[in-house]
Amino acid sequence: MKKFCLFLGVMILSQLSAVENNPVQKVKKWIDEEKLDLENQFHTFVTLATVNEQNHPTTRLVELISFNEMGGLFFTHGKSGKVAHLEKNPNAAMNLWLSSTHRQITMEGKVLPISRQEAEMYWKRMPRNMQLTFLVSNHKGKIDSLDPLRAEKRKLDKEIDGEIPLPDVFVGFRLVPEKITFFDEIHFGDFADKEIAYRDDESWIMQRLQP
Write down all domains in the chain, each with its CATH number in brackets.
20-209 (2.30.110.10)
Instruction: Look at 140 and 157; give whichever has higher pLDDT.
Output: 157
Q: Residue 18: what pLDDT?
A: 56
- The predicted model scores a pTM of 0.84
Whether the Cβ atoms of residue 69 and residue 55 lie closer than 8 Å to each other: no
* E strands in 10-155: 45-51, 57-63, 66-68, 71-77, 91-98, 103-113
| pLDDT per residue as tens digits for the range 27-82 | 999 999 999 998 888 889 999 999 999 999 999 999 999 999 999 999 999 999 99
User: What's the pLDDT score for residue 210?
Assistant: 84
Determine the average pLDDT of the residues in 182-198. Answer: 87
With a cut of 50, say whether residue 166 has pLDDT above it: yes
Q: Does pLDDT of 110 surpass 50?
A: yes
d(CA 91, CA 179): 12
Q: Decide: 168 and 162 in contact? Cβ < 8 Å.
A: no
CB 112 within 8 A of CB 94: no
What does the pLDDT read at residue 198? 94
When pLDDT is cut at 50, 70 and 90, the band that residue 2 belongs to is low
Give which of 24, 178, 48 is closest to 108, Cα–Cα.
178
DSSP line for 28-48 = HHHHHHHHHHTTT----EEEE
Residue 98 predicted with pLDDT over 60: yes
Average pLDDT over residues 153-162: 93
Tell me the residue ranges of DSSP E strands in 78-202. Answer: 91-98, 103-113, 170-184, 193-200
User: Which segment, 138-147, 164-173, 183-192, is predicted with the most confidence on average?
Assistant: 164-173
| Stronger pLDDT, 161 or 20, i.e. the higher one | 161
| Residue 53, SS3 per DSSP | coil
